[in-house]
Structure 1
Amino acid sequence: MIGPWAGALLGLAAAPLLRAVAVRHAVPYGEPLRQCCPAGRWGRWPTGRCAGCGEAAAGPRPGAVEAVAVAVGAALGTAADAGSAPLFCWVGLFGVVLGFVDAAVLRLPDALTLPLFAGTAVLLPLADHRPAVLLRCLLAAAALGLLYGGLALLLPIGLGDAKLAPSLGAVLGLYGWGAVAGGVFAAFLLGGVWGAVLLLTRRAGRGDALPFGPPLLAGALLAVLAAA
């Protein structure tokens, strides 16, 4: 175990970059990435203002990215060992950004999900090099990709979720098929609870689209913590 404090510190250190990337990619489909003034860059911690001109960035509330990054880092630190730490760090960092982007603009950009998958494939053997485990991870990645790809044709789930799912499936595959099933179940449970809360508080209507990326990521995290 790497430890929750080490994970929390890593999350806190990475938070300025995560905020900057989230702000940059939180744009509607087809629009260019958000640019800043030439004098600075987005995402100065913890206010989210431009470090050059001080203009307020269109992005998560001040402190939100930092709090989530610390929480995710601490949680993964309790599950990671020396072998799995690089993989968990990679997936955790991308996961924080993807969650905020999806919550903001209801999309999971290929520019984030595809590098996440490529890095996961490279780092996975460091976490467990046994052929049987790696085969299970491959099958789990394919299974979740096909599952969410099929559901995208029937339910209000985007193709971005289907592109995110293989990376999460590969990680869950390290812990067995029970963890894979648990991650799927937790994702839909959290998504249902979140949707119900938004409806009850009238922050969303019955016909409104809701981001499924955050529940998908949170469900995978809970499944890893339960299995580790």
Structure 2
Amino acid sequence: MVGELVGAGGGLLAAPLLRAAAARYAVPYGEPWRAPGAPGGPGLLRVGLVAAGTGAAVGAAAHWPLVLPLAWAALFGVVLAFVDAAVHRLPDVLTLPLALGTALLLVLTEHQGAVLLRCLYAALALGACYGALALLAPMGFGDAKLAPSLGAVLGWYGWSTVLTGFWYGFVLAALWGGAQLLAHRMKGGDALPFGPCMLLGALLAVLLH
């Protein structure tokens, strides 16, 4: 319970910064980033609730020191989810620092070579899988750039968690798309932002591992 409370509190404290980042980067392709403090973007209450819930989940799922790479991924994940939901993009300015920071924190906090090797292989596997989907299916390259970070974190828990997180992403996308169609908020063939589903699927896999 302590971990959940600390995580939720940390999410709430970070919410203003996460909301500002989401507002800054939630712009369509070809448009400049918004200036810091510019109006627009998701509301603070909505970001705060998502950040608190994500923080509580991280606090429940992780122990020291793995909580560090998981919290790093969660902070970026909240911003990426709001950006992708708003403008259907996962910008490099977020996915690349996420990948570098995740790799560095895993190396600093995990001292078993076999585990680090599994994290590397999982990152490569998910990156290659989503890269192939981006070439062959209606999937964005932003998803392929997000996938290695999620694969690295999931790889710490084992291959079954990697596969579960991968599978959950598609299940959530199907459920979300179906709900949007039933509510007449989208039509068949409309693009669906997949990043939030990838992120939530990975988080659920970590919680249920």
Determine if contact 1:2/1:79 at 8 Å carries over to the other structure.
Answer: no
How do 1:181-200 and structure 2 match up within 5 A?
181-200=163-182
Q: Tell me, yes or no, if structure 1 residue 82 matches structure 2 residue 64.
A: yes
Cα 1:103/1:172, change in 2 over 3 Å? same
Per-residue CA deviations over 1:132-155 (Å, capped at 9, x if unaligned) read 010000000000000000011222
Q: How many pairs align? A: 209
TM-score (norm 2): 0.97
Residue of structure 2 aligned with 1:165, choices 133, 147, 154: 147
Question: 1-side partners of 2:115 and 2:2: how far apart?
Answer: 22
Q: How does 1:13-162 map to 2 (within 5 A)?
A: 13-35=13-35, 41-42=37-38, 57-162=39-144
Greater Rg over alpha carbons, structure: 1
Please give the alpha-carbon distance, in whole angstroms, between the structure 1 residues aligned to 2:72 and 2:14: 11
Moved more, 110-119 or 27-36: 27-36
Unaligned runs of 5+ in 2: none
The structure with the greater share of residues assigned to helix is 2
Partner amino acid, structure 1, of 2:55? G
Distance 1:97 1:178, change over 3 A: same
Q: Provide the secondary structure at the position in 2 that maps to 1:32.
A: coil
Task: List runs of 5+ in structure 1 lacking aligned partners.
Answer: 43-56
Within 2, Cα distance between the matches of 1:140 and 1:62?
34
Between the aligned partners of 1:187 and 1:62, the Cα distance in structure 2 is 26
Match of 1:26, as an amino acid?
Answer: A
Identical residues among aligned pairs (%): 60
**What does the per-residue CA deviation read over 1:163-213, in whole Å, with 9 as the maximum and x for residues that have no partner?**
000000000000110000000110000000000000111000112111000
Moved over 4 A (4+): none
- TM-score w.r.t. structure 1 length? 0.89
Deviation of the 1:88 alpha carbon: 1.4
CA contact (8 A) 2:5 2:56 kept: yes
The aligned runs of 1:202-221 (5 Å cut-off) are 202-221=184-203
User: Counterparts of 1:178 and 1:83 in 2: how far apart (Å)?
Assistant: 22
